[in-house]
Amino acid sequence: MIRLNHVLDELPKPYDMTLIPKLITAMVEDIYREGKGEFVESDAVKKAIGKKTVELFKGLLNSQIQK
């Protein structure tokens, strides 16, 4: 969640579901940069990062609605 917030800080507000493609791209770039040499970069890794990013982002948006 910390990494998600870090990446979101660089993206325009307000946050909504239309941000997802940019968010996934930014998250993949950030994780590849920060984790260089720790894993093999592949389409499967990108897909996993994207899936988890969407899950975390939807959770964040839902928690903001609940407030």
pLDDT at position 38, please?
95
State pLDDT tens for residues 6-53. Answer: 999 999 999 999 999 999 999 999 999 999 999 999 999 999 999 999
pLDDT at position 18, please?
95
Domain borders along the chain are 2-66
Q: Residue 67 pLDDT > 80, yes or no?
A: no
pLDDT at position 64, please?
86
pLDDT at position 65, please?
86
pLDDT at position 66, please?
82
First to last CA, the chain: 18
Question: Does the bond joining 14 to the residue before it have cis omega, within 30 degrees of 0?
Answer: yes
